[in-house]
Amino acid sequence: MNIGEFARLGGVTTRMLRHYDALGLLVPAHVDPHTARRSYDLAQLPTLHRLLALKGLGIRLDELGPLLSEGVDPAELHGMLRLREAELERQVRQQRHTLDRVKARLRLIEQEPPMPVETKHVEPITLAALSADAPDASRQQTGAVVQSLFEQVIDQMETGGADRTTPIARYQPSAEAPTVHVIAGYALAGNEIPGLHDHVLPAAEVAAVVHRGPMNTISSAYQELAQWAESTGRTPTTLTWREYYLEAAGDDQSDWIVEVQLEL
């Protein structure tokens, strides 16, 4: 078949086929010596598919020759694709977290007392996490529980060599008042992590305030959200909170940035 027909079947452009020919990656089955027109065989489609799959995995064109000549079976390609998929998902999570941090910084720059409250929709997220109950909803009790949980989660993730992005804690009143159920963990990347549980935080409409500074002053953000919810008539019957730690590295908490979210 001519180059145009082969390009249509392969879902590529004729320009790409000429480029692959010039690199010696996919040479036409026949080239007319008089017109220089390229012709391809249908049997060359599997080679084109492998070439495009390997290229999609991020392998440079100048590295593809040996892989194509040695042959890559579908099972091996599938394994390589899964690895690439996991890497891309990790990059997306990191970029999402970076974008959230930038947005939080902008809100801090723009904010004037009182703290600005933002309402938004948050998508469901699966955490590699641990959970425990705090005796009551006070910062003294819940703070101690969430710190202990994060320490255990980090130990398990470091042991498993897991990537850590998007740290979140959720505080939900339990049926046995006044105890509060606390979940703390990181966005799950790939397979389950031994010693940790998969916790799915549901999609929700939230009201959010960005807090900058040490955790012992974060109560001002909670107060602002509670007052806003009451003033707008949107106070839930039970207050379920989330803390999204945008910048929370190191022992010096003076520059920590945490978004406090109230589920509506």
List the domain range (segments joined by +) for residue 207.
90-263
84 inside domain: no
Shared-domain flag, residues 253 and 156: yes
83 inside domain: no
Shared-domain flag, residues 44 and 174: no
82 inside domain: no
Shared-domain flag, residues 57 and 96: no
pLDDT at 67: 67
Whole-structure pTM value: 0.62
| CA 114/CA 134 separation, integer angstroms | 30
Shared-domain flag, residues 117 and 37: no
Contact status, residue 247 vs residue 194, Cβ threshold 8 Å = no
Shared-domain flag, residues 147 and 205: yes
Shared-domain flag, residues 219 and 114: yes
Shared-domain flag, residues 259 and 176: yes
Shared-domain flag, residues 43 and 132: no
Q: What is the CATH classification number for the domain harbouring 181?
A: 3.20.80.10
Shared-domain flag, residues 108 and 62: no
Q: List pLDDT tens digits, range 108-125.
A: 566 555 568 999 999 999
14 inside domain: yes
Residue for token pair 């993730």: 157
11 token code pair: 């879902």
| CA 192/CA 178 separation, integer angstroms | 32
Shared-domain flag, residues 139 and 105: yes
Q: What is the CATH classification number for the domain harbouring 36?
A: 1.10.1660.10
Query: Three-state DSSP class for 199?
Result: strand
pLDDT band at 152 (very low <50, low <70, confident <90, very high): very high
79 inside domain: no
What is the rounded average pLDDT of the residues 203-219?
91
108 inside domain: yes
User: Is 101 exposed, middle or buried, given 0-12, 13-18 or 19+ CB atoms closer than 10 A?
Assistant: middle
Strands (E), 113-220: 118-122, 125-134, 167-173, 180-187, 197-201, 204-212
149 inside domain: yes
Q: What is the DSSP letter of 202?
A: P
192 inside domain: yes
Q: Say which residue, 51 or 183, is predicted with more confidence.
A: 183
pLDDT at 110: 60
Shared-domain flag, residues 102 and 68: no
Q: List pLDDT tens digits, range 224-233.
A: 898 899 899 8
pLDDT at 112: 54
Number of domains the chain is built from: 2
Shared-domain flag, residues 141 and 25: no
